[in-house]
Amino acid sequence: MPDPRGVRVTLAPGSATLDVPPLVLEPAQIPVAPAARVTARGLLGGTAPIRPAAPPDPDGHRHVLLNGEPAEAELILLDGVRAILARGGPAGTRDRVLILPPAPALGAARGVARREVVAGGWRVELEVEPAARAALRERARRGREEVGHSGPTEVHAIIPGVVISVSVAAGDAVTAGQQLLVVEAMKMQNELRAPRDGTIGRVAVGSGTTIEVGDLLLVIS
């Protein structure tokens, strides 16, 4: 089990097409000298070490665990939103970020907060929750998935706009990359293509339908 003070940060669902692994961030524990060996033993031992977090280093950098690996990382708040992420100690890298006030995570369990962080001009929507809680939930979910899973894929809108044409109907067999429909947004026509092979189970929109981000467009089974 992760440290009870740890947090898990994941990319918010629907915010990107990328598969980015979650980050589990835990405080380094006392004693910290050297941090690496002590924490490794604690993790491998399988016990949750409930120890006080290490006090900040006098020279200003901080030891943490990133997915179990020791690292130096510190967030220097400049005001309510601006911050500098310092990694790798005094000689390491520094990135300017904007951390916006938290918002409730849509449809997610209580205790999960949605945060928008801007790094290098990229808007990243994240979900932050206690790592221990996330680990328990993961375990429960894996148990359910043992049963086996190859369900239908729902295709949702990633941009708002108007559906110009739909090239498939329920029952059609499609191959990955095949054009499914055309959406006009900001005067540009965007072709939506099938994410995988399958059969169209349902088409939820028609030509002329106005769609918002997240709307169900069709189902591939």
Partner 1 sequence: MATSRSEPATAPSLRKDESGTPPFRRVLVANRGEIAVRLIRACHELGMEAVAVYSDADAGAAHVRLADVAVRLGPAAPSESYLRIEAIVGAALDTGAEAIHPGYGFLAERAAFARAVEDAGLAFVGPPSESIDALGDKLHARRTAHAVGVDAVPGTLEPAPIDRADQVAGIVADAERIGFPLLVKAAAGGGGRGMRRVTTAAELPAALVSGSREAASAFGDGSVYLEREISPARHIEVQLLGDVEGRVVALGERDCSLQRRHQKLIEEAPAPGLTAEARARLHELAVRVASASGLRNAATAEFLRAPDGAFYFLEVNTRLQVEHGVTELVAGFDIVREQFLLAAGRPLSAAAIAAAGRAASPTGHAIEVRLSAEDPARDFAPAPGRVLRWTMPSGPGVRVDTALEAGDRVPAEYDNLIAKVMIHAGDRDAAIDRLRRALDETEIAGIQTTLPFHRFVARDPSFRAGDLSTGWVGEHWDGPGEYRRAVEVAQLAAGLAAMDAAVAAGGAMVASVAATGTATATPTDGRWHRSGLEAAHDRWPR
Is residue 25 within the footprint of partner 1 (CB under 8 A)? yes
N-to-C CA span, the chain: 37
Dihedral angle sign, alpha carbons of residues 30, 34, 39, 42: negative
Dihedral angle sign, alpha carbons of residues 67, 123, 134, 76: positive
Dihedral angle sign, alpha carbons of residues 79, 83, 89, 93: negative
Residue closer to partner 1 (CB basis): 57 or 202: 57
Interacting positions 191-220 with partner 1 (CB under 8 A): none
* DSSP per residue, 42-62: HHHTT-----PBPPPPTTS--
Interacting positions 119-178 with partner 1 (CB under 8 A): 119-124, 126, 128-130, 132-133, 136-137, 139-140, 158-161, 164
**Exposure of 95 by Cβ count < 10 A (0-12 exposed, 13-18 middle, 19+ buried)?**
exposed
Least spacing, CB of residue 86 vs partner 1, in Å: 10
Which segment (20-28, 32-40, 147-155, 197-205) binds partner 1 by CB under 8 A? 20-28
Is residue 111 within the footprint of partner 1 (CB under 8 A)? yes
Is residue 30 within the footprint of partner 1 (CB under 8 A)? no
Site string for partner 1, 69-108 (x = CB under 8 A): ----xxx-x--xxxx-x-x-------xxxxxxxx-x----
